[in-house]
Structure 1
Amino acid sequence: MMGFGWIIGIAFMVGIIWLLSKGSGADSKSDTKATRTALDILNERFARGEITNEEYQEKRNTIA
């Protein structure tokens, strides 16, 4: 039974590391994507050239 004590120690350390990384905001990118507005997405599409100026103006008026 004493031979398996190191397994418990490793499992404990892995758990501590997991808890610390979970609370450190390592997944903050997913939070910022959720806060983008429709206007932000529209501006990005226009900047990438996916929509024309006319489409941009029309959609912007619809959103506002």
Structure 2
Amino acid sequence: MMNGQSWAGMGAGMGIGMIGMAIFCMLIIVLIVVLVARMLGFGGRADKKPQKTALDILQDRYAAGEIQRDEYEQKKSSLDN
């Protein structure tokens, strides 16, 4: 016995320290896995919509009646070039 403490009490403290270190190591591993997954493109939002091209926007404007046919044809031909 050392200063009124038993060996069992010292062992319990070491066990708690080992559990804490194991949890810390697991958190580090999870963090690394999440970062690698995001860098590779996994874990993204499923609701992401593909970006519209200029031609898509032009067609939407023509369909909505914002521009006339001649303006649509002119802009479409300039996009094709």
Is 2:60 the partner of 1:44? yes
Is 2:78 the partner of 1:62? yes
Structure number with greater Rg is 2
Q: Which has the higher helix share?
A: 1
- Structure 2: tracts of 5 or more residues without a match: 1-16
TM-score by length of 1: 0.50
What amino acid is the match of 1:33?
A: Q
Name the Cα RMSD after superposition: 3.3
Moved over 4 A (4+): none
- Structure 1: tracts of 5 or more residues without a match: none
TM-score by length of 2: 0.45
Count residues in correspondence: 61
What percent of counterpart residues are identical?
28
Name which of structure 1's ranges 7-16 and 45-54 shifts more when overlaid on structure 2. Answer: 45-54
Mapped to 2, the partners of 1:55 and 1:4 lie a distance apart of 68
Higher RCO, 1 or 2 (CA under 8 Å, sep at least 6)? 1
